[in-house]
Amino acid sequence: MIRFDRVVKKFDGGSVAVDNLSFEAQRGEITVLVGPSGCGKTTSLRMINRMIDPTSGQILLDEQPVGQIAPAQLRRGIGYVIQHAGLFPHRTVLDNVATVPRLAGWSKAKARTRAHEVLELVGLPGDYAVRYPSQLSGGQQQRVGVARALAADPSVMLMDEPFSAVDPIVREQLQDEFLRLQRELGKTIVFVTHDIDEAIKLGDKVAVLEVGGRLAQLAEPAYLLAHPINDFVSDFIGRDRGYRALAFQDAPDFPLRPEPTVELGTTPAQARLATSDGWLLVVTDGRPQGWIEPQRITVPIESAMLHRGGTVARNHGPLRAALDAALSAPSRRGVVVDDDGRLLGTVRADEVLRAIDAAERPAIDPADIAPAESP
């Protein structure tokens, strides 16, 4: 556990970067510090591993003040991942990852064996190990950065905008893999980002910081979306809060309707026989591939002819996915699948809305009702 106890950081010249900050980052959880430029989130993060020392107050790591631990020793026990990865260009990927174990005094052989393991873990197996950072894409470099931080198996990880320098598609991949990894590893993670969507997606808890380094609100993402404590937080979270909150509410048992389907290769005549509706679902091996309009085809169905606009929702998955499946399907029938991706049936938007209406929202904490400028 990491505890901030009335931490203040003033820089030379008197500007206050962090103002009386107190909060806890729980063991095994991802705590995201999010806020606009100048809110002191990076400064706060860097005070945990003593890259910066606070002006007053203290930070406790498992109840021990970090100020009492020598910086180098403290940092070797804490994984550190930064925006541009900061890989050492003169070392191979393998030796980059082996750096911290080597610093901790492991033998070269043991450190390299471990490095191979963590590279595998972050999805960079085999021949990547012998490459140099300049031979990797930005996303691959970030994976190496994460692997390097994990190599000595620290219980705490500090991550400073690790995914913000890669393109949106790669970013989403890295986020998903990061969450998968965290489910396996259960590290105590403090994660800094300026991207509220990333914060809401990754955080077990999200701490929203205001300019001037004050904590505006610390809560679970669903609570934050439902009950932002003041105008600053609601502005920062942005629009579509109600819709985005649906990502945290699981769908009930929908009254799923059976959906007629055909396989790829079906002839136009067979397809027209299969349904009376304007749209027909095409599956392979029970897995939905896309929609087709049987009245408009003249040749047997090929993959390239399919309408791919419809999203697919997992049964009992988030309500947001179910609503989106219904809204995005050209037939307006949202496709619901099981955990293996096999078709279970379809659900209509009004049925999802009824479920949304009935769903419980996070109860408001009485402490948040009393209007207060800063908690």
By the criterion CB under 8 A, which residues form the site for another protein? 35-43, 49, 51, 71-77, 80, 82-92, 99-100, 103, 131-138, 141, 145, 148-149, 158, 160-161, 164-166, 168, 192, 194-197, 209, 211, 235-236, 238-239
CB of 167 to another protein, least distance (A): 8
Cβ proximity to another protein: between 34 and 319 the closer is: 34
CB of 166 to another protein, least distance (A): 8
CB of 353 to another protein, least distance (A): 24
CB of 268 to another protein, least distance (A): 41
Cβ proximity to another protein: between 136 and 301 the closer is: 136
Cβ proximity to another protein: between 247 and 271 the closer is: 247
| C-alpha distances in Å from residue 202, one per residue of 24, 35, 326, 362 | 17, 15, 26, 18
In which order are the strands placed within the sheet that holds 78-81? 78-81, 156-160, 188-193, 30-34, 205-210, 214-219
CB of 156 to another protein, least distance (A): 12
Tracing tokens 């004050």 back to the chain, one arrives at 214
Is the separation of the CB atoms in 308 and 254 below 8 Å? no
CB of 184 to another protein, least distance (A): 22
Compute φ and ψ for 231, nearest 5 degrees: -60, -40
Cβ proximity to another protein: between 140 and 182 the closer is: 140
Cβ proximity to another protein: between 72 and 370 the closer is: 72
Long-range contacts of range 352-356, CB-CB < 8 Å, 24 or more positions apart? Answer: 352/251, 352/254, 352/319, 352/322, 352/323, 352/326, 353/323, 355/251, 355/252, 355/254, 355/319, 355/322, 356/246, 356/249, 356/319, 356/323
Cβ proximity to another protein: between 19 and 259 the closer is: 19
